[in-house]
Amino acid sequence: MAQLGFYINQSLCIGCKACTVSCKDKNNLDVGINFRRVYTYEEGTYVQQPSSGIVHNLKAFYFSIACNHCTQPKCIPSCPVGAISKNKENGVVTIDQDVCQGTQLCVKACPYGAPQYNKKVFKSDKCDFCIDLQEKGENPVCVSTCPMSAIEFGPIKKLRKKYGNVSQIKGMPSDSITHPNIVITPHKDAKLSGS
Amino acid sequence: MSEKNHLKNLLTNKMQRRTFLKWSGAIGIPVIAGGIGTKMLVDRKEEPKVLNAKEKEKIISTCSINNCGGRCVIKAHVKDGVVVRVSTDTQETGDLSTPPLRACVRGRNYRSLLYHSDRLKYPMKRVGKRGEGKFKRISWEEAIETIASEVKRIGDQYGPESRYVNYASGQSWGLHGGKNAARKLLSVTGGFLNYRNDYSSGAGNVATPYTYGTNNSGSSFDTLLHSKYIILWGQNPSEMIFSTPYREYLMQAKKNGAKIIVIDPRYTDTVIAFADEWIPILPTTDNALMDAMGYVIITENLHDQAFLDKYCIGFDGDHMPDGVPKEESLKSYLLGEKDGVAKTPEWAEKICQIPADKIRELAREYAKTKPAALIQGWSAQRQAYGEQFMRGGAQLACLTGNVGKIGGWAAGTGYWSRSEIVYPFSYENPVKASIPCFLWTKAVENGTEMTAADGLEGTEKLSSNIKLIFNMAGNMLINQHSDINKTVKLLEDESKVEFIVVSDLFMTPSAKFADILLPGTTFFERYDIGVPWCFGDYVVFGDKTIDPLYECRDEYDVFADVADKLGLKEKFTEGRTTLDLVKESVERTKKELDPSFPTFDEFRRKGVHHFKYDAPLVGFKEQIDDLENHPFETPTGKIELLSKTLWDMNNHDEIPAIAKYIPAWEGPEDPLKEKFPLQLISWHYKRRCHSTYDNQPWLEEAAKQEMWMNPKDAEKRSINNGERVQVNNERGSLFIDVKVTPRIIPGVVGIPQGAWYTPDKEGLDQRGSVNVLTSQRPTPLAKANPQLTNLVEVKKFEE
């Protein structure tokens, strides 16, 4: 099986966070732990006209992100006990809960904030691409949840062929660091020059 | 901006990571790690308990039935009688005749709601002062006995008009919810005081029929695929769900190339996902913009004169009803022929703050791009003169001839529905008297003095004030009605309302005012059918997924027992259980309304039924195609841009015969602005359905209760993002954290509605329950809630 990845159609994201909460429901995650997260970006201001009207140049967008199951994941080398691994067949990166010692070094290493530390059990964990559901032939829960159908998944090569190569938008770390397996259709306000 | 900082943190993380990598790279362990992890993953797959779990898990399809406008499919994954997770409709997108009914963030939280440790678990009676929240556990026998004897005592002592079932919206929406069960109980025991209308579209519901003769002024959402220009005016379908598939159609409309404009004081999530342009506007000034758009349209000759001549009354002096002077026409008003004030874009700019050139551009684009859909949300009709908003939108749709045409939209309240089913649980109330639902507090205080001017109908005079309230799964009793502090005082006085029955899932602010408090069931724990509010072509089966938890019971069963106590059980149930009611509804729907409706077993297996139609529903198509044989349901049979009925009410300043801008009390022109300079609005928040789910931690994390404030207003008050503030006006005071954001127009603050009233010892709300600050002054015509019209001042919280 080829490297799996996510596709995010950011131009459709309404910021509802159904993806975040369905992931919590599926993985029994406490408040504070979010394997999938939705970020907001907003900028712009108003100018009061002498004639008493107001003009503005506001821009805003949402962005949903989980683990990108990177080609060069920085979490793996960061772990001093070898709890994190990348599946050779599908490229899914997982943290073995039996091995994790809770050093939180992966949390610091990941430029995307994917690993989440659980203070109750002193361990980190993250999106495992709902590999258990995939084995049953189901979609990852965020994919089957999104009310806008803005999240897809599959072999990253296929996704790139279908949707292009954008894997970085305004506000995101450079995609050259870890080579994330994500494809994004950016919101009109989120485009980087060249993307 | 707190959330923007998250993205900043991502960038910062990058820096930390680089520094860190040098260090971790030096340790050099990762290669082996991969091997171990993979092996563990493989081993885990082979664990036998996983296989067992697979065999045991049953998936039962049910439906979220509460006062959300949408109905979505909720699939409960049940193992050993426990819901272990929920999923939703897995149908793919694409076929717009059967759009997927995917749950939103609220729906994804349902397991958490079902098993929340704060669920009410057994019946209780009040032991402290009313409203104090002190209760004692009692038996179901005692609860039923007490309700039966109080229903009888109060009925005998004050007459049936003293008994009232409050407007409620919680788990009340299906075939047999608490509200319906309470109404039937009171009907079979002598009757109750009726209410009319609702809190969602109260002003619009009364106003729109003065224009069109009906509230069914909308079209089915698939007509939007024909629209070239769509204005969403005060409507936010990204957060507020009118009908689950609406967003899917809107998205398709956008793909089809429709230009979408959002007019709203906030840069909403709808702007983010759907809009080509956001036009910010000051609350309560919508009609000034509408008037100016009308002015541009007629002075630039962009109006559809043929449409106006044929279908409308009151546009110009040649088309006036008998008895109304010619200079009262819409055209005359817009041109300022009588008052000397032409309703120019420059005139409107000073009121609504939209630049005159932008108003011209908007008016021209809307009038020239055909077909164009002007769709009105219900926010702006929840304002002081909310009636004008709904009639004003309809007026623009008529000026441009967008009524009755596919891809157009008639504006107004916009109801339409093609999801008819039979409701077998019916009752006839022997009492004919009714009040507007917003005025129930008035009917408690001095109901016997209410007259037709207060909206009393069906009787000249009430024989009693309200003495008994059934509040079934509803938070209107305290939280969602206006002016909480005033309502608290009213209900605390046990000599006024003598007995209050509440049923709910949690100890809400309203539940605290119960005399008898009943633990209700969730939709997971009962059978029902989910029908979307009034938009959509589908119904969803509500299967029972688990037995009720604790001692929770369906209100239907409880009131059947109360009826039994009074010797009326057979009259109440007619021998049926709730499951019988669902079966009967399905069978009768198939027989009486729709032969293609599935059988009970089919419906249960599929979970959803989509009604299919040959053609889209286009509001008023019949009338526009053939007016002679299909007149509008108005007195003149035409669209009444000027209503003689309203004219004859002779209150032209507050209830004008044509829609127009009237400066609102507590609007931007109110002198009270000196003291309370900020306009306060509220909105339906993505994490709540009205006040339902306010106590859900996952949802609080997803969308915190916080007040939006523009950086310009925050700076003036030295308020920083995330800080706690006190918001005041003459009615009350609340504390809330602030989100400083440019996504709200300067001069306006916004508090998401529905947070639970949480007073401290001094009675000051600590959670940001907006109705501490809203007013009980009703709108002039509909007597509806004006809850989006408030002036406040905000100051930094100092300990």
At A194, the pLDDT band (50, 70, 90 cuts) reads: low
Condensed to tens digits (0 to 9), the pLDDT of residues B635-671 reads 999 999 999 999 999 999 999 999 999 999 999 999 9
| Span of A191-195, B152-156, B227-231, B429-433 with lowest mean pLDDT | A191-195
Residue B162: is its pLDDT beyond 80?
yes
B440-457 b/e (C-beta count within 10 Å ≥ 16 → b): bbbbbbebeebeeebbbe
At B33, the pLDDT band (50, 70, 90 cuts) reads: very low
Give the pLDDT score at A1.
67
Condensed to tens digits (0 to 9), the pLDDT of residues B493-505 reads 999 999 999 999 9
Residue B611: is its pLDDT beyond 60?
yes
At B38, the pLDDT band (50, 70, 90 cuts) reads: very low
Q: Is the pTM above the cut of 0.80?
A: yes
Q: Do the beta carbons of residue B737 and residue B724 sit within 8 Å?
A: yes
Residues of chain B with Cβ-Cβ distance to A94 below 8 Å are 37, 41
Token pair in block for residue A77: 């080398």
DSSP 8-state assignment for residue B104: -
Give the pLDDT score at B552.
98
Range B146-169 average pLDDT: 96
The alpha-carbon gap from A4 to the nearest alpha carbon of chain B, in Å, equals 15
Please answer yes or no on whether B102 and A147 come within 8 Å at the CB atom: yes
**CB-CB: which of A18, A37, A149 is closest to B103?**
A18
Q: Mark residue B644 as left, alpha or beta (left: phi above 0; alpha: psi -120 to 50; beta: remaining).
A: alpha
Please answer yes or no on whether B10 and A39 come within 8 Å at the CB atom: yes
Condensed to tens digits (0 to 9), the pLDDT of residues B339-395 reads 999 999 999 999 999 999 999 999 999 999 999 999 999 999 999 999 999 999 999
At B798, the pLDDT band (50, 70, 90 cuts) reads: confident
Please answer yes or no on whether A96 and B40 come within 8 Å at the CB atom: yes
Token pair in block for residue B798: 């100092």
CB B92: neighbour CB atoms within 10 A? 9
At B48, the pLDDT band (50, 70, 90 cuts) reads: very low
The alpha-carbon gap from A157 to the nearest alpha carbon of chain B, in Å, equals 22
**CB-CB: which of B29, B104, B745 is closest to A82?**
B29
The C-alpha atoms of residue B457 and residue B464 are separated, in whole angstroms, by 15
Q: For an interface test with A, which of B701, B708, B739, B748 has the most A Cβ atoms less than 10 Å from its Cβ?
A: B701
What is the gyration radius of the CA atoms in chain B, in angstroms? 28
Please answer yes or no on whether A46 and B7 come within 8 Å at the CB atom: no
Residue A193: is its pLDDT beyond 90?
no
CB B473: neighbour CB atoms within 10 A? 27
Please answer yes or no on whether A145 and B103 come within 8 Å at the CB atom: yes
Residue spans of beta strands (DSSP E) within B187-288: 194-196, 229-233, 259-263, 277-279
Q: For an interface test with A, which of B86, B87, B239, B241 has the most A Cβ atoms less than 10 Å from its Cβ?
A: B87
**Which of B619, B659, B624, B652 lies closest to B638 in space, CA to CA?**
B624
Q: For an interface test with A, which of B2, B7, B706, B745 has the most A Cβ atoms less than 10 Å from its Cβ?
A: B7
Q: What angle do CA B426, B431, B437 make, to 5 degrees?
A: 85
**Which of B54, B52, B140, B236 lies closest to B518 in space, CA to CA?**
B140
Percent of chain A with pLDDT over 70: 98
The C-alpha atoms of residue A91 and residue B379 are separated, in whole angstroms, by 48
Residues of chain B with Cβ-Cβ distance to A86 below 8 Å are 34, 37
Residues of chain B with Cβ-Cβ distance to A63 below 8 Å are 7
Condensed to tens digits (0 to 9), the pLDDT of residues B288-298 reads 999 999 999 99
**Which of B446, B672, B534, B702 lies closest to B68 in space, CA to CA?**
B534
The alpha-carbon gap from B25 to the nearest alpha carbon of chain A, in Å, equals 7
At B170, the pLDDT band (50, 70, 90 cuts) reads: confident
DSSP 8-state assignment for residue B272: H
How many interface pairs between A and B have CB atoms less than 8 angstroms apart? 247
Q: What is the ipTM of this complex?
A: 0.97
Report long-range pairs for B645-654 (Cβ below 8 Å, ≥24 apart): B645/B210, B646/B210, B646/B781, B647/B321, B647/B323, B647/B324, B647/B328, B649/B781, B651/B780, B654/B385, B654/B780, B654/B781
Residues of chain A with Cβ-Cβ distance to B32 below 8 Å are 82
Q: Which helix (H) or strand (E) holds B9?
A: helix B2-27
Percent of chain B with pLDDT over 90: 89
Q: Do the beta carbons of residue A124 and residue A146 sit within 8 Å?
A: no
